[in-house]
Structure 1
Amino acid sequence: MIPTILVTGIGGPAGRSLARQLVERGYRVIGTDMRAIDVLDVTVYQVPAAADPTFVETLRMLTRENGADLVIPTVSEELPVLARQETWPAPLALAPLEGVLLANDKWLTWQRLSECGVSVPRAMLPSHVQSIEHVAQTIGWPCIAKPRIGRGGRDVRLYHAYDIDVLRALGDHYILQEFIPGIEYAPNVYIRGNGDDVVVSLRKTALKQGVVGNAVSVVRDTSSDVAALARAAGRALGLSGALDIDIRRRGDRTPVVLEVNARFGANSAYAPEILGALLEEIGLPQYCTPIPVI
């Protein structure tokens, strides 16, 4: 019997990438998404948003009815909801609740990493802003503003000193960060309980919005300092399993952690070792051979 794996958010970049890898490895893949979509070789079920009170029971039912051997969430909004579930009909590829909550809020992420001595950009909240000079001294101009809870490059913008009134008006559901101008990386990490972690460093070669945003393309990279920093960030947050991390270099080439996603990312196909580590930990084969029909 070929194992069945359920991938949530299968219409998004992370979900599609993961589903393609699993299909290529011979697995039966089923998916969920908020939209009615078609994905080659995958049965897709339309489900409510994570905030909907029926979301958990809908996903639980689909897990049971399809006999899923593993559920892999790829939607950031789903992670805190699912991490609060004490039981599930199948193994759930998800980190512990505390780590998920820390990674879900970029301000909490920044605070914990700072406390643990992990290199991060300087940061503040909009309510901290006093004057142009205060921002210049605290995080510098230009600076980045992004939603504390959000994914991808959504509503991430670069602001200059003349935008100070706009920054003040954003509210503390945003975080303001020092703008790091250097090379950006997207290391994919798998944190294991035994400490034998897997880290694949990917370098972003183009960004959707030029200086910010999601990666348009990536290449594998051998930067050991980036890999070490990514692993340290995941461990400092108390995470486990697959992580997608954004890191940039300062002008002096020091790498700093921009944010941490406690899930597979859009570029996981460039780091197949991460999926391999998950399958190994769950006890599923790396590749499945379909049973011939006689």
Structure 2
Amino acid sequence: MSAHTGHPHDPATPYAFDNDAPDADRVLSSLGEMLDEYTTARLARLGVAEGARCLEAGAGAGTIAAWLADRVGPEGEVIATDVKPQHVRPHPRLTVIRHNVAADPMPAGSFDLIHARAVLQHVPQRREVLARLAGSLAPGGVLLVEELEARWAASVLDTPDPRAHDVFAAYERGIRAVLRANDNDLDWCRHVHAAMTGTGLSRVETEVWQRSWSGGTGVCLLAHFGSRELAPQLSEAGMEAGDLHFLAEISLDPRLVMLGIPLLSTSGVRAE
């Protein structure tokens, strides 16, 4: 699973979230809980054959890489890359590489499938990286790029405290300011389709996925742990300490119901 990895003050890895942070594993697991059921279904529909060679760029916790490794069977291979890959668990058909997709050469060879989730939106060279990923496909290979849209203000569906609507609106303003300060393109998720077409890939298709989550699960946990990790930056961006405390508490309340932030999932195929 790709994730926000790196350090917000490192220009070589300008990601808002850090895999070395104390709550990094919880942020990554929350992302996985929220997104993996959709991503794996999308990959299955795109077709991951036995014996395939796959690249998971920005593997995060490695859950999607492990799913791919199970899928390709004993004759297949999956390479998982990340700037900080320490959360990726070992798998007999999984090769894990410490790799900066924005600066390091692509792994050698061509791939039947390349997947990147919540990665390129954090990379200033995102269009160049997208082109390099497309160029690393084998003929007939598939590129799947999935990006999150930072929309929290209208995500509260049910709440024991109506203040949640205003606090999550404040959280959206704060998180978008933090992401923008880290060179994140907040509109990139809606530009991937055209950018992928521009690389020469064909059959480009975009889907959008969301579902609801109760407090203590999915997107609520993502808000809980993400806001804790980014609390200093969110405060600097203008979010009040009281709102941060309220968000941390209500995001664990099972009476809270939130719509997951949108995942835009775009696929394209290299000509045979």
TM-score, normalized by the shorter chain, greater than 0.5: no
Bigger share in helix: 2
TM score, norm. by length of structure 1: 0.36
Q: If the length of structure 2 is used for normalisation, what is the TM-score? A: 0.38
